[in-house]
Structure 1
């Protein structure tokens, strides 16, 4: 039995790595069967899917006596953004500009503040000072989506600027992000998965690893690497320290992923069931 990870989080991983490649919809029975491989039971899967539906990530579709769940537009947007960052080959280059977001949300809407902070952190913004967030990356589309989603345009100002302070840009980075801690976590990922990669490569090449085992290992690999989306802002290479391990970790992830890809996909396809006919989203 695999260690049980958070059910909702595992569903996000399955949508991002598998289901989104097959039309975004899956029968709840297939989802339950897939998550059994990780120690989740039917009750926890149904409860997590219901929560995700209420949060606007997925919606349900009934066909006969079967229920299917498909990604909403919001869900598709999040999956696309995550995929672009997870499978990014190298750090982006920088145009030298900082994007600055400043907001002043009134007390009557204070419930939006925590949600907005989580969204900004996930997108790669760093907190420079109270209610002032910065990023070197061109995230205009993401910001516009957030403003529309939370209906906060009267309370938000967004600028593009050049840093002209007494300290350099790397010092500005150190104020907003703990790159040493992130680098340490990349080091731990490399130490753990480089050893496991060698073991699994031998098993796969010798035909000793089942499709189901490959599915489990690939999904857990993606699930672990996806956690870096919440801590690594994806800074341009010009702002990263010299001994940055992010790209080495990404290279290991891609090699390991390719090793498991075909057998893992075969297992997924053996369990996966989509709606039997076209449906309107």
Structure 2
């Protein structure tokens, strides 16, 4: 949830927030001060956050690694339509020794996050151009001696769709999207009615929008973001993206107003990114 708040709000306001403001925001979701401090400490050890002091106040901000991860996530979350495919497959092969098992396990998690599919033991594939992401992973884990990346064309005898079926559980992902649509279609209708009648506060809109993003971003861990040529004809991921966009736009203005109300007390509101306008959803997509 802290990642979600940083990604959807704080990064547009100078990427830094006083811990007191963050605690107040997290209380809206039922999290207490001690829990927030414990999680922040853990995330600092993991390399996601750094802290600085101004008098008696502590401010938290994303590290370079954190900003990179949040930016990558945002570009995928706010993408409405599948992209076109260049017809190429990227194949990553590695032979990481047993004494580096922990690195191997971490690499697998990172590859899944980036959208690679496990085609065979030690062999991962993707139709997307992830050369930059792979290079960053190689440098991060210092595994230059164990990894090879190829760009190739599939010549059969199986079809490209059969390669997809072997490497990603699309039916399970489709099921998750259908659950998302069922849940949030109803909530969208209820929230629209409540907002029109003035029965939904800015704080409630903030909670609802943050929960919406928090739930939708979970698809980043399971949906590889395949190009439209490799997706089923009836793909619920596209419907989910448009539902998410509609609901997000509905909640955007009052949710941002509540965040700014909390943020402006002890933070520099003047550092708000002028390119960011929460009321203008397409602008967020272009980001």
Same fold at TM > 0.5: yes
Q: 2: CA distance between counterparts of 1:29 and 1:256? A: 29
* 1:49-88 equivalent positions in 2, closer than 5 A: 49-88=40-79
Any unmatched runs of 5+ in structure 1? Answer: 1-9
Encode CA deviations 1:228-268: one digit per residue, 9 max, x unaligned: 00000000000001110101000000000000000000101
Which one of the candidate residues 190, 197, 211 is aligned to 1:199?
A: 190
Which one of the candidate residues 249, 258, 277 is aligned to 2:249?
A: 258
> Structure 1 residue 107: deviation in Å?
2.3
Equivalent residue for 1:274?
267
- Residue 178 of structure 1 pairs with residue 141 of structure 2: no
- Residue 129 of structure 1 pairs with residue 102 of structure 2: no
Q: 2: CA distance between counterparts of 1:276 and 1:216? A: 21
Residue 110 of structure 1: SS of its match in structure 2? helix
TM-score calculated relative to the size of structure 1: 0.93
Contact kept in structure 2, 1:127 and 1:133, CA below 8 Å? yes
Residues 52 and 275 (structure 1 numbering): CA distance in 2 closer, same or farther, change over 3 Å?
farther
Any unmatched runs of 5+ in structure 2? Answer: 272-287
Q: 1: CA distance between counterparts of 2:13 and 2:5? A: 11
> Structure 1 residue 108: deviation in Å?
2.4
Residue 212 of structure 1: SS of its match in structure 2? helix
Equivalent residue for 1:46?
37
> Structure 1 residue 277: deviation in Å?
11
> Structure 1 residue 106: deviation in Å?
1.9
CA RMSD of aligned residues (A): 1.3
Encode CA deviations 1:23-70: one digit per residue, 9 max, x unaligned: 111111111111101111111100111111111111011111011110
Equivalent residue for 1:32?
23
Which one of the candidate residues 239, 254, 262 is aligned to 1:248?
A: 239
Runs of 4+ in 1 over 2 A off after TM superposition: 273-278
Which one of the candidate residues 77, 82, 88 is aligned to 1:97?
A: 88
Equivalent residue for 1:115?
106
Encode CA deviations 1:186-217: one digit per residue, 9 max, x unaligned: 11110111011011011112222100000000
Q: 1: CA distance between counterparts of 2:115 and 2:66? A: 18
Q: 1: CA distance between counterparts of 2:38 and 2:99? A: 31
Encode CA deviations 1:111-164: one digit per residue, 9 max, x unaligned: 101110000000000000111100000011111111111111111100000011
Q: How many residues align?
A: 269
- Residue 238 of structure 1 pairs with residue 235 of structure 2: no
Q: 2: CA distance between counterparts of 1:274 and 1:117? A: 38
Contact kept in structure 1, 2:260 and 2:269, CA below 8 Å? no
